[in-house]
């Protein structure tokens, strides 16, 4: 490495400063844990800005106003091809992506000019201009023009590729994913013949080169990809770029690969020192794997990943175990990887302070996992040795045995191979692959998407939490604001210790006022607050263990397990309660009016509406609906208390509480009663139901109740939608206003509406009759006048032609009949504006004439289309004159 060259940290700083100089706001890196559930880890600098790319306000915590230009250094984790990490020269599992972003501000031209200035400017990176190459998307002439004409890059330094190469995300138009996307332009640096003897032209074919190194990708997200490959224009055009910091550092420092640069060299040296095995470049795969992996392992654990058997925890554990195995191959028999963490902190802690604050925890987690894995290795080796003893030299270890070692002991198969080889035994790899495949299929079959899977994947963690702390204490019947402790945070099927700002996860609390979805009632929404932070609760669900999972997005600060949080239910809970109590009253009213054969078949209780499905054979009459609505409103104005009690199930039933058919209840049930009945004729109507939901304290709080619709759902099942409280009042107001508008358009009062509408309909009908009458007369008049009519001799047939105007296609057929008859021709051709109808007499058809062929020939000449039978055909034309001229050759 050139000692006077810039360090990686200096390059990072220069980049950010360069773009600050171009009016960009510098923002900190997002966590390596992805900000959205599309990926496990953050894979690109743009990922935290998806909302801004889709037109969301570019506001950022801690910064006043809007910022349409942003620059970041984003730590990214890409682990798609983990077996290759440490083997290719260009890929790291953890790397830093430098980015400049425009949210509807500058576009292609500035992005390209600035990238060029930064890379080649002598006061910035000072790359040799002659060694620069780029690719553009095949249809992106704009980018090609900027590169050649404005930057002055020779055209033979540019390749055009299609969407699998130069679109981001790759192939987004054809395959997705949905979201912001667009063409891109990649910038390459030619590292020279020492790196390979291929040429830039070869790259067009191979798309793989050790010599031409992609350092920067400029993406021009101008579309929002939607279902079915629809590319909708984004309201604004955006810019998203990603420059690989480590790759640029390799060029600047003129080192052959990452492993000799200022970040990796100290790690490689330490591995050599610890193992007593010097680094020998290319052949020292183990040194490189360890140096590479320890960075991503340390960073992700600092960001909150907990090593486990699922999701992110599994991926990182696999990477750590791979490093650990290479340490073992280097002869190291004690945990050592954790001692490399301080070097990672030294190199990256300046830019990523969480590494410094979490160092101790990170080291402890890595050390514990190393110890565990070494134990596994030792146990596996003992077991494998005893297996090998029973196999002669030259024999084969069954694939299934290798798989059992791998599956139950976590013993890596290549280590099995290595040890077996030392005993002169080979491993049945096909058999191993087969067992692996079978196991994967079993796993796939077992995982069906849905709630149970969500809970299933983290069931272990939740079981532990429930065993230790018991079920979540729910206090939300009486309180909307309470304090609880965070017992667990789960996301992507694994447990986290910390949830950083901008991330989402399910949070388990010891105590909560949030109602979890159940009994038709939606889960509560609201806020969590704690010293230094806040999060939004978007939904609440309950696990089979009785734990409440709050779906949280952290807005500020970070949320940690053990923190006490203030949980505040959003005010729309009150509206939900109104709808829930109204649902009970509706249920009781339906049974009173329609008979006790009515059974609840489903329900939805939300803040904005209620939906109630029930068994009943016929559609409800307007009178029935009015009566039901009135009954419920009588309860409302009576303002009865609504109470709940817990009773043994038998007693609840004996008291006549309505239980839902097919629903399972425990021994003790909650009974919700309205303390007072209303009168329907002689009938006393009361409401008492088994229900775990949230209700108003008095029926008066419901305010008002309106049925919005009643419809059939399936045979014998009806659905009512209704509104309570303000939603009901608003609905009535809007309906009245619409009626008022309609009435004033008709010069009437709302009460006169039905009568006036009937009058208008009658007069429209009458007018239509008159119009069609007039049209017929118009056609006849034109035909009778003979204007525009002629008879021609074509191909031995007598053809009558009439050119009319203003006659619709339907009337045209009648005109053709008339013409054919009156002119006693073989064929009649009638054209009006852009329509044509051709009729042929029976006799003409028998002699080989075809109306269909005539229309096809006319359409071919006159631009249009059409066809039909030999005796009758019709079509549309763009140019009637040309079509008529083509008649001559049509028969
Ligand atoms: P490549 O084609 O070389 O795999 P890419 O096309 O996947 O890279 P982008 O997604 O365009 O890369 O990311 C932008 C930049 O980030 C790249 O130009 C490169 O400099 C850098 N980069 C991408 N992946 C890695 C990686 N695994 N390790 C180091 N740098 C990377
Ligand atoms: Mg690329």
Every domain of the chain with CATH number 3.30.930.10 lies at 108-236
E strand or H helix that includes residue 832: strand 827-832
Residue whose CA lies nearest to ligand 1 atom number 31: 244
Residue 191 in contact with ligand 1 by CB distance below 6 A: no
Q: What is the DSSP letter of 148?
A: I
Residue whose CA lies nearest to ligand 1 atom number 24: 91
Residue whose CA lies nearest to ligand 1 atom number 13: 242
Pairing of strands 717-724, 473-474: unpaired
Tokens of 739: 């009626």
Query: 778-789 burial, b for 16+ CB within 10 Å, e for fewer?
Result: ebeebbeeeeeb
Cα 107 to middle of ligand 2, angstroms: 19
Tell me the sheet residues that pair with 532: none
Distance CA 348, CA 141 (A): 40
Residue 91 in contact with ligand 1 by CB distance below 6 A: yes
Residue 92 in contact with ligand 1 by CB distance below 6 A: yes
Tokens of 105: 């501000």
Looking at residue 446, what is its pLDDT?
38
- Kindly write down the DSSP assignment for every residue of 334-390, as one continuous string: S--GGGGHHHHHHHHTTT-THHHHHHHHHHHHHHHHHHHHHHHHHHHHHHHHHHHHT
Every domain of the chain with CATH number 3.10.310.40 lies at 788-889
Tokens of 16: 């950010």
Distance CA 536, CA 565 (A): 12
Every domain of the chain with CATH number 2.40.30.130 lies at 456-570
Cα 186 to middle of ligand 2, angstroms: 6
Quickly tell me which residue has 């209780």 as its tokens: 605
| Ramachandran angles phi, psi of 505, nearest 5° | -165, 175
Residue whose CA lies nearest to ligand 1 atom number 16: 244
Q: Kindly give, in sequence order, each residue whose CB lies less than 8 Å from that of residue 405, ignoring residues fewer than 6 positions away.
A: 380, 383, 384, 411, 413, 416
Tokens of 797: 């047939």
Question: CA nearest 514: which of 474, 551, 485, 458?
Answer: 474
Residue whose CA lies nearest to ligand 1 atom number 21: 244
End-to-end CA distance of the chain: 86
Residue whose CA lies nearest to ligand 1 atom number 12: 217
Every domain of the chain with CATH number 3.30.980.10 lies at 574-737
| CA of 186, closest atom in ligand 1 | 18
E strand or H helix that includes residue 872: strand 872-877
> Known binder of ligand: residue 30?
no
Identify which of 81, 214, 258 to mutate to test ligand 1's pocket (most ligand atoms within 8 A of the CB): 214
Q: Check whether the bond before 177 is cis (ω within 30° of 0).
A: yes
Question: CA nearest 242: which of 99, 89, 372, 350?
Answer: 99
Distance CA 754, CA 751 (A): 8
Beta strands in 620-773 (DSSP E): 642-648, 668-674, 678-680, 683-685, 688-690, 705-714, 717-724
Residue 657 in contact with ligand 1 by CB distance below 6 A: no
Q: How far is CA 345 from the centre of its chain?
A: 35
Cα 501 to middle of ligand 2, angstroms: 29
E strand or H helix that includes residue 815: helix 809-823
| CA of 78, closest atom in ligand 1 | 27
Q: Kindly give, in sequence order, each residue whose CB lies less than 8 Å from that of residue 228, ignoring residues fewer than 6 positions away.
A: none
Contact 575, 690 (CB under 8 A): no
Residue 78 in contact with ligand 1 by CB distance below 6 A: yes
Query: 176-215 burial, b for 16+ CB within 10 Å, e for fewer?
Result: eeebbbbbbbbbbbbbeeebeebebeebeeeeebbbbbbb
Distance CA 789, CA 882 (A): 17
Residue 270 in contact with ligand 1 by CB distance below 6 A: no
Pairing of strands 426-427, 396-397: parallel
Identify which of 11, 85, 86, 247 to mutate to test ligand 1's pocket (most ligand atoms within 8 A of the CB): 247
Looking at residue 809, what is its pLDDT?
74
Residue 295 in contact with ligand 1 by CB distance below 6 A: no
* Domain 456-570 in CATH 2.40.30.130: yes
Q: Check whether the bond before 11 is cis (ω within 30° of 0).
A: no
Cα 50 to middle of ligand 1, angstroms: 19
Helix (H, G, I), strand (E, B) or coil at 246: helix
Quickly tell me which residue has 């699998």 as its tokens: 164
What is 108-236's CATH number?
Answer: 3.30.930.10
Tokens of 495: 């447990």
| Ramachandran angles phi, psi of 497, nearest 5° | -100, -20
Cα 244 to middle of ligand 1, angstroms: 6
Cα 770 to middle of ligand 1, angstroms: 73
Cα 235 to middle of ligand 1, angstroms: 28
- Kindly write down the DSSP assignment for every residue of 501-544, as one continuous string: TT-EEEEEESEE-PPPSBTTBPPP-EEEEETTEEEEEEEEEE-T
Helix (H, G, I), strand (E, B) or coil at 26: strand
Identify which of 182, 209, 244, 246 to mutate to test ligand 1's pocket (most ligand atoms within 8 A of the CB): 244
Looking at residue 456, what is its pLDDT?
46
pLDDT single digits (tens) 213-253:
999 999 999 888 888 888 888 878 899 999 999 999 999 99
Quickly tell me which residue has 């068994």 as its tokens: 615
Instruction: List Cα–Cα distances, 802 to 567, 830, 884, in angstroms.
Output: 82, 5, 10
Residue 90 in contact with ligand 1 by CB distance below 6 A: yes
Query: Hey, what CATH topology would domain 574-737 get?
Result: 3.30.980
Identify which of 73, 79, 95 to mutate to test ligand 1's pocket (most ligand atoms within 8 A of the CB): 95
Residue 217 in contact with ligand 1 by CB distance below 6 A: yes
Instruction: List Cα–Cα distances, 210 to 86, 198, 246, 469, 778, in angstroms.
Output: 15, 9, 15, 56, 80
**Closest ligand to Cα 209:** 1
Query: 145-168 burial, b for 16+ CB within 10 Å, e for fewer?
Result: ebbeeebebeeebbbbbebebbbb
Q: What is the pTM of this model?
A: 0.55
Identify which of 81, 134, 242 to mutate to test ligand 1's pocket (most ligand atoms within 8 A of the CB): 242
Helix (H, G, I), strand (E, B) or coil at 545: coil
Identify which of 44, 96, 97 to mutate to test ligand 1's pocket (most ligand atoms within 8 A of the CB): 97
Q: What are the per-10-residue average pLDDT scores of the chain (891 residues)?
A: 83 97 96 83 91 86 92 92 62 96 95 98 96 95 96 96 90 83 96 92 89 96 86 87 96 91 95 94 86 96 84 85 89 94 95 93 93 83 85 91 79 81 88 82 44 50 84 93 93 79 89 92 94 92 87 91 95 95 97 89 91 91 96 96 90 82 70 93 91 95 96 86 96 95 92 93 93 82 78 90 82 87 90 90 92 90 86 89 86 81
Alpha helices in 21-95 (DSSP H): 50-53
> Known binder of ligand: residue 691?
yes
Looking at residue 453, what is its pLDDT?
39
Distance CA 488, CA 71 (A): 34
Cα 316 to middle of ligand 1, angstroms: 20
**Closest ligand to Cα 46:** 1
> Known binder of ligand: residue 181?
no
Instruction: List Cα–Cα distances, 263 to 361, 479, 752, in angstroms.
Output: 22, 54, 84
Pairing of strands 827-832, 835-840: antiparallel
Q: How many Cβ atoms from other residues are within 10 Å of residue 763's Cβ?
A: 10
Quickly tell me which residue has 């309106």 as its tokens: 706
Tokens of 464: 């532990």
* Domain 788-889 in CATH 3.90.660.10: no
Contact 295, 344 (CB under 8 A): yes
Residue 551 in contact with ligand 1 by CB distance below 6 A: no
Neighbour-count burial of 708, counting CB atoms closer than 10 A to its CB (0-12 exposed, 13-18 middle, 19+ buried): middle
Distance CA 815, CA 319 (A): 82
| CA of 184, closest atom in ligand 1 | 11
> Known binder of ligand: residue 695?
yes
Cα 7 to middle of ligand 2, angstroms: 24
């Amino acid at each position: 490495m050139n000692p006077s060259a810039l360090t990686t940290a200096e390059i990072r700083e220069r980049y950010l400063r360069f773009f600050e100089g171009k009016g960009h706001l510098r923002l900190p890196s997002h966590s390596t844990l992805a900000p959205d559930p599309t990926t496990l880890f953050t894979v690109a600098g743009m990922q935290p800005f998806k909302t801004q790319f889709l037109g969301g306000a570019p506001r950022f915590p801690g910064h006043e106003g809007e910022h349409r230009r942003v620059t970041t250094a984003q730590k990214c984790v890409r682990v798609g091809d983990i077996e290759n990490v440490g083997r290719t020269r260009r890929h790291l599992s953890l790397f830093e992506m430098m980015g400049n972003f425009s949210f509807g501000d500058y576009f292609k031209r500035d992005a390209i000019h600035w990238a060029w200035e930064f890379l080649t400017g002598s006061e910035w990176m000072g790359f040799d201009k002659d060694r620069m190459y780029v690719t553009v998307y095949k249809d992106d002439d704009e980018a090609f023009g900027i590169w050649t004409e404005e930057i002055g890059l020779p055209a033979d330094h540019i390749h055009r590729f299609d969407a699998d190469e130069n679109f981001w995300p790759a192939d987004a138009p054809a395959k997705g994913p949905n979201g912001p996307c667009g063409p891109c332009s990649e910038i390459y640096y030619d590292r020279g013949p020492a790196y390979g003897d291929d040429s830039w032209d070869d790259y067009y074919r191979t798309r793989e080169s050790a010599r031409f190194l992609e350092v920067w990708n400029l993406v021009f997200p101008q579309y929002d990809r939607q279902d079915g490959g629809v590319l909708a224009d984004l309201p604004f055009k955006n810019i998203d770029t990603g420059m690989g910091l480590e790759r640029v550092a390799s060029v600047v420092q003129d080192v052959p690969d990452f492993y000799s640069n200022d970040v990796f060299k100290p790690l490689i040296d330490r591995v050599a020192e610890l193992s007593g095995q010097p680094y020998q470049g290319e052949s020292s795969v183990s040194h490189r794997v360890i140096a590479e992996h320890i960075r991503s392992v340390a960073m992700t654990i600092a960001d909150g990943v907990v090593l486990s058997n699922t999701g992110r925890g599994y991926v990182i554990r696999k990477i750590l175990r791979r490093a650990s195995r290479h340490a073992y191959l280097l002869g190291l028999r004690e945990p050592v990887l954790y001692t490399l963490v301080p070097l990672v902190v030294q190199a990256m802690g300046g830019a990523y302070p969480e590494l410094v604050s979490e160092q101790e925890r990170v080291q402890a987690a890595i050390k514990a996992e190393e110890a565990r894995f070494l134990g596994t290795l030792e146990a596996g080796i003992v077991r494998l040795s005893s297996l090998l003893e029973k196999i002669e030299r030259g024999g084969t270890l069954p694939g299934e045995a290798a798989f059992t070692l791998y599956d139950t002991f976590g013993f890596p198969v290549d280590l099995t191979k290595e040890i077996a080889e030392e005993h002169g035994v080979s491993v049945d790899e096909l058999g191993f692959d087969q067992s692996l495949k079978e196991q994967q299929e079993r796993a796939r079959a077992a995982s069906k998407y849905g709630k149970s899977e969500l809970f299933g994947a983290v069931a272990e963690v939740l079981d532990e939490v429930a065993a230790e702390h018991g079920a979540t204490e729910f206090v939300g019947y009486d309180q909307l604001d309470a304090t609880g402790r965070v017992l667990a945070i789960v996301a992507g099927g694994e447990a986290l210790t910390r949830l950083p700002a901008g991330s989402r996860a399910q949070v388990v609390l010891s105590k909560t006022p949030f109602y979890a979805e159940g009994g038709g009632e939606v889960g509560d929404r609201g806020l969590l607050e704690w010293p230094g932070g806040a999060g939004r609760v978007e939904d609440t669900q309950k696990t089979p263990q009785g734990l409440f999972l709050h779906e949280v997005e952290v807005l500020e600060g970070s949320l940690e397990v053990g923190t006490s949080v203030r949980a505040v239910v959003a005010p729309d809970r009150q509206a939900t309660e109104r709808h829930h109590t109204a649902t009970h009253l509706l249920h009781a009213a339906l049974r009173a009016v329609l008979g006790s054969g009515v059974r609840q078949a489903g329900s939805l209780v939300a803040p904005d509406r209620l939906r109630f499905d029930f068994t009943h054979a016929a559609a409800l009459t307007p009178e029935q609906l009015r009566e039901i609505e009135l009954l419920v409103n009588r309860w409302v104005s009576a303002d009865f208390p609504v109470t709940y009690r817990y009773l043994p199930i038998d007693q609840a039933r004996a008291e006549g509480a309505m239980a839902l058919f097919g629903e399972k209840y425990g021994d003790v049930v909650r009974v919700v009663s309205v303390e007072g009945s209303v009168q329907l004729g002689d009938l006393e109507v009361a409401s008492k139901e088994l229900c775990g939901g949230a209700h108003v304290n008095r029926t008066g709080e419901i305010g008002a109740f309106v049925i919005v619709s009643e419809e059939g759902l399936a045979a014998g099942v009806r659905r009512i939608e209704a509104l309570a409280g303000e939603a009901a009042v608003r609905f009535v107001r809007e309906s009245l206003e619409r009626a008022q508008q309609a009435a004033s358009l008709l010069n009437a009062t709302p009460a006169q509406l039905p009568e006036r509408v009937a009058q208008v309909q009658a007069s429209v009908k009458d007018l239509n009759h008159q119009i069609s009458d007039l049209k017929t007369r118009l056609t006849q008049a034109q035909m009778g006048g003979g204007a525009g009519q002629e008879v021609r001799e074509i191909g031995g047939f007598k053809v009558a032609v009439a050119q009319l105007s203003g006659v619709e296609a339907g009337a045209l057929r009648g005109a053709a009949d008339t013409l054919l008859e009156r002119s006693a021709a073989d064929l009649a051709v009638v054209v009006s504006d852009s329509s044509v109808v051709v009729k042929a007499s029976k006799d003409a058809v028998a002699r080989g004439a075809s109306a269909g062929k005539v229309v096809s020939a006319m359409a071919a000449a006159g631009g249009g289309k059409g066809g039909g039978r030999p005796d009758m055909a019709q079509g549309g034309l763009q140019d009637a004159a040309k079509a008529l001229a083509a008649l001559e050759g049509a028969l």
